[in-house]
Structure 1
């Protein structure tokens, strides 16, 4: 018997699980992927790392500022740049000088690995069904060998459309109609990321580390990802598409032509023709990249016989900071429903200090 199962090991799920573990609950995290962090994702390839999801942290609120300070003290994060260039539709460059942007030299997934310390996490395990047991507990059936987990409470920390597919079969006999309608109303923009590497003898690198394309129909962002790495042996870039472009190509079986087109467009717009001829390239689709219609509160809860709360960056925003705040709010709500402990004395950040 587990106190609480958290479905999803993104930043919301990990923050929620850590808060509840610190409060004394027995917590099990279940993640369908082989890695942690959700869209805080890093791919190992060609003797380097590339961040093909969240490319940097730009802390605004107090929680993430303090968390970034802790990660910098542990040498997990460092300052990358305080300047991001913009390319407007007239192909004119502007600069954005604002808050510092932080990156992880070994890849942004290092943040999730740090947040996951001491948690009990099942990776490569997809929850395929949720039901109630005769003893009035949650039963979660896993895809692998139809194994089961039994829990008193459940946190669903995955994108709302995925949560809906998992929870809708419970029906309105367990979940009220308003809850399902609210979950169904959340919508996402997709994105396609292309990672491209070039020979060490390529043309001189551009002066920018990151650049945003303003009102471009195909391109959203490009970053010199190799500038994050210690002693990079070859330059590599990450190009992120616009939502419009991703929507057109999301169901393509082969994404390589889409990635090549993104490089071609970037090469033309930036007057860097060699960007169009990479030594290697990998392309990744993000079906649920950024909430286009988020839920307006920090979590989404429903009246059920047993505690059930949904959370994620789609609750209140679309940033890493929003995801963590949503996870902590979900932890508080689950604790309130279980009536176990007072969380006032549970300091999430103190756990890592």
Structure 2
């Protein structure tokens, strides 16, 4: 038995777990993937790394601003660029008129999650396949690849709402109120396909831009010169992200390599950079739940049940990293109020990392 189980080691789940751990609760985080961070993700490949999820941080609120400042002091983040240019429908590149620093991690954006995970009890590669309530008034979690079952007094579900719905709906209205299930099922996401491509060191001409958004393109939404983030890049590599309409066409495509090759062919044509069509290597990733299109309008979604159960994530109020962090803090507060009402750290819980 532990006090709290957090399902999901994305930004919301890690912030919630860190807050509750610092307050004195026993917390265990369960994550189905091999790595931390959710969509703050980095792929290790070909002797380098590439950010195929969240490409940079652009702090606008106080919470993320202070977090970025802390990570900058620790040499985890640096300024990458202060503008993202735009490719218009007629094929011209418009320079961004506004300047706002974008921060990246030279070791990969997943370094942010690894920093947040310090001191936490985290089970990786463990998918929760069933949740039940025990006669002893606790939650029991069944794991897919283990005979172990985890029991906890409280549960935080910090994964995309459609995944949370599939996991929680079987509990039924006898345990979860109908309004909670309805609200959870109302959240919708758009998908995205990310394609990472590496090229020979002699490739030229290299683009003048570091990041480029596309206006009204039929397939492509964004391209980043990802190797420019690295301290000592050995060869140029780029990350391309499709738009939602294109990704929807390939949600169930088993082999994504031809899909990625097609995207880079289109990028080569659109940008008049023929060598983009012939990468040395290519990896493609499907984000089924990339961006919330119909989010929940509050910072958490809590069930009205005797056993504490709270859902959180970037789909609670918005789709930014900052929204996920705010939601994680709110989830910790909601769980604490239903348990022992301990003294939670100040909202600036980053004090923990400066000790």
Shorter-chain TM-score range: over 0.9
Partners of 2:22 and 2:344 within 8 A in 1: no
| In structure 2, C-alpha distance between the alignment counterparts of 1:275 and 1:308, rounded to whole Å | 48
| In structure 2, C-alpha distance between the alignment counterparts of 1:302 and 1:280, rounded to whole Å | 46
Match of residue 146 from structure 1: 147
Report the CA distance shift for 1:102/1:347 in structure 2 as closer, same or farther (over 3 A). Answer: closer
| In structure 2, C-alpha distance between the alignment counterparts of 1:205 and 1:141, rounded to whole Å | 51
Q: How does 1:48-67 map to 2 (within 5 A)?
A: 48-67=48-67
C-alpha displacement at 1:343, in angstroms? 2.6
Partners of 2:22 and 2:345 within 8 A in 1: no
Q: Per the alignment, in what secondary structure is the counterpart of residue 251 of structure 1?
A: coil
Partners of 2:23 and 2:345 within 8 A in 1: no
Give yes or no for the alignment of 1:320 onto 2:321: yes
Number of positions where the alignment pairs a residue of Structure 1 with one of Structure 2: 353
| In structure 1, C-alpha distance between the alignment counterparts of 2:30 and 2:257, rounded to whole Å | 31
C-alpha displacement at 1:345, in angstroms? 4.4
CA deviations 1:243-301 (Å, max 9, x no partner) are 00000111101111111111111111111111011011000000000001000000001
| In structure 1, C-alpha distance between the alignment counterparts of 2:204 and 2:260, rounded to whole Å | 21
5+ unaligned residues in a row in structure 1: which ranges? Answer: none
5+ unaligned residues in a row in structure 2: which ranges? Answer: none
Q: Per the alignment, in what secondary structure is the counterpart of residue 100 of structure 2?
A: strand
Partners of 2:8 and 2:32 within 8 A in 1: yes
| In structure 2, C-alpha distance between the alignment counterparts of 1:341 and 1:87, rounded to whole Å | 52
CA deviations 1:180-206 (Å, max 9, x no partner) are 000000000000000000001111210
| In structure 1, C-alpha distance between the alignment counterparts of 2:188 and 2:289, rounded to whole Å | 8
Q: How does 1:3-18 map to 2 (within 5 A)?
A: 3-18=3-18
TM-score, normalised relative to structure 1 = 0.98
Match of residue 25 from structure 2: 25
Match of residue 269 from structure 1: 270
| In structure 2, C-alpha distance between the alignment counterparts of 1:212 and 1:347, rounded to whole Å | 33
| In structure 2, C-alpha distance between the alignment counterparts of 1:339 and 1:317, rounded to whole Å | 30
Partners of 1:22 and 1:346 within 8 A in 2: no
CA deviations 1:280-324 (Å, max 9, x no partner) are 100000000000100000000111121000000000000111000
Q: How does 1:274-353 map to 2 (within 5 A)?
A: 274-343=275-344, 345=346, 347-353=348-354
Q: How does 1:1-353 map to 2 (within 5 A)?
A: 1-96=1-96, 97-343=98-344, 345=346, 347-353=348-354
| In structure 2, C-alpha distance between the alignment counterparts of 1:230 and 1:197, rounded to whole Å | 16
C-alpha displacement at 1:36, in angstroms? 0.1
Partners of 2:131 and 2:142 within 8 A in 1: yes
| In structure 2, C-alpha distance between the alignment counterparts of 1:347 and 1:151, rounded to whole Å | 27
CA deviations 1:160-215 (Å, max 9, x no partner) are 00001110110000001110000000000000000000001111210000000012
Note the aligned Cα RMSD (angstroms).
Answer: 0.9
C-alpha displacement at 1:342, in angstroms? 3.1
Partners of 1:23 and 1:346 within 8 A in 2: no
Partners of 1:64 and 1:321 within 8 A in 2: yes
C-alpha displacement at 1:347, in angstroms? 4.0
| In structure 2, C-alpha distance between the alignment counterparts of 1:133 and 1:174, rounded to whole Å | 12
Report the CA distance shift for 1:98/1:158 in structure 2 as closer, same or farther (over 3 A). Answer: same
| In structure 2, C-alpha distance between the alignment counterparts of 1:95 and 1:27, rounded to whole Å | 47
Partners of 2:329 and 2:347 within 8 A in 1: no
CA deviations 1:20-76 (Å, max 9, x no partner) are 011110000000000000000001000000000000000000000000000000000
